[in-house]
Amino acid sequence: MKPDTRARVSPIEDPSGDAGPLEGLALARRRWMQRWGGPLAAAALGPVRWAAAATGAATAMSASAASAATPATPAGSVWPQRTLRLLVGFPAGTTPDLSARALADALAPALGQAVIVENRPGAGGNLAAEAVARATDDHTLGVVINGNLTTARALYKALAFDPARDLRPLSLLTTSPLVLVTSTGVPEGAAFFEAARASGGRWNYASVGVGSVGHLGIELLRSRLPGLEAQHVPFSGNPQILNALIAGEVQMALVPPGLAMPQVRAARVRAVGITAGGRSVLVPELGTLADAGLSGGLSLEVWTGLVAPAGLSEAAQRRLASTVPDAVRAPVTRQRLFNAGWQAVGTSPEGFEQRVREETSRMAAVIAQRRIQVE
């Protein structure tokens, strides 16, 4: 038998196509480089390195899915060990998203790892909150709003997770009061409250949806103003609410200051006061509802908070507890949040947990009394 004198070809360089998909990808890439990048470019990487590059590309494409299945940080290890995911349940450019991105940019240098914001909008932020609750990689966190922690369980009977059991509050990040805004066709100042009591069911009020802070806030106001039986009209967003107020289709609503005040200053709508115990740096020209004549006032804020899966490792909890408050209150971050309509807070986990417990109890009473439920 004659000896085999054919050149030995490595599987990765096999031109027959029998070497498999990974090797085929490497060969195609090499040929492209030979044609367009020149022989030196192709030779510089070589067939084996092209295969490694292909493997890395495939890994990167599946990184998001794989991270949820990666084991948690071993006890005694330094945390974080890799890129962090920060899930937010609202589209890019919304105020919760801006809060998340400011936090991500502040945390990355403090933790020594990249922090990637992922937008997963839907169900008022509950889809993202559920994804955080299900994560087991020890490197997935979430930025949530009030309702995801305080009212979701009471409002959504079919909720797929339990916020109190499945999520760990880490820090209250930002807060903002709301402005009680009215159409120009209703009385101003203290006379507004008298008119509200006498309105019966003739008035309408607006919110961005059933169970939203604006919805529950007006229901709280109704409990303070016997005789006010205003009908709830949900809208898709605050701009639509302001248009309805300007047109006189609704008589009142609770709206964030950044959206309300341009219309107030233009005299298209009126501001009664803010839902806070004192004046706010976000809208210093307005007093509180107590200042306007509402006995006892009304303290109610929208906020964002940082949460993690309940099983977050002790190493991660300690690192975040020592890092997040300072990162949020840093001057650059504080100003960035202010520009987005937020007041920076940055509490301890214990402080945030207490806030969630108190607000959950308060809102659960309103939801039960008014029999509010999201279908």
Determine the Cα–Cα distance for residues 302 and 87; give it in Å rounded to an integer.
19
CATH number at residue 347: 3.40.190.150
Q: Domain span at residue 154?
A: 84-171+302-370
CA dihedral 253, 256, 259, 264 (to 10 degrees): 60
Count of domains observed in the chain: 3
CATH number at residue 253: 3.40.190.10
Tens digit of each residue's pLDDT (9 = 90 or more) over 271-286 = 999 999 999 999 999 9
DSSP state of 36: I
Residues 271 and 362 placed together within one structural domain of the fold: no
Residues 306 and 166 placed together within one structural domain of the fold: yes
The backbone torsions φ and ψ at residue 237, rounded to the nearest 5 degrees and listed phi first, read -170, 170
| 147: its two tokens | 């309702």
Residues 288 and 306 placed together within one structural domain of the fold: no
Token look-up 């039960």 returns 368
Report the predicted TM-score, pTM, of the whole model to 2 decimal places.
Answer: 0.79
Residues 295 and 183 placed together within one structural domain of the fold: yes
Tens digit of each residue's pLDDT (9 = 90 or more) over 60-114 = 333 444 444 455 666 667 999 999 999 999 999 999 999 999 999 999 999 999 9
Residues 116 and 186 placed together within one structural domain of the fold: no
Q: Shortest CA distance to 353 belongs to which of 313, 310, 323?
A: 310
More confident residue, 132 or 55: 132
Q: Is residue 42 a part of any domain in this protein? A: yes
Q: How many residues does the chain have?
A: 375
Residues 225 and 156 placed together within one structural domain of the fold: no
Range ranked top by mean pLDDT from 2-16, 29-43, 65-79, 265-279: 265-279
Tens digit of each residue's pLDDT (9 = 90 or more) over 156-181 = 999 999 999 999 999 999 999 999 99
Q: Mean pLDDT, to the nearest integer, of 9-28? A: 33
pLDDT-wise least confident of 57-71, 78-92, 180-194, 235-249: 57-71
Residues 306 and 287 placed together within one structural domain of the fold: no
Range ranked top by mean pLDDT from 27-36, 54-63, 96-105: 96-105
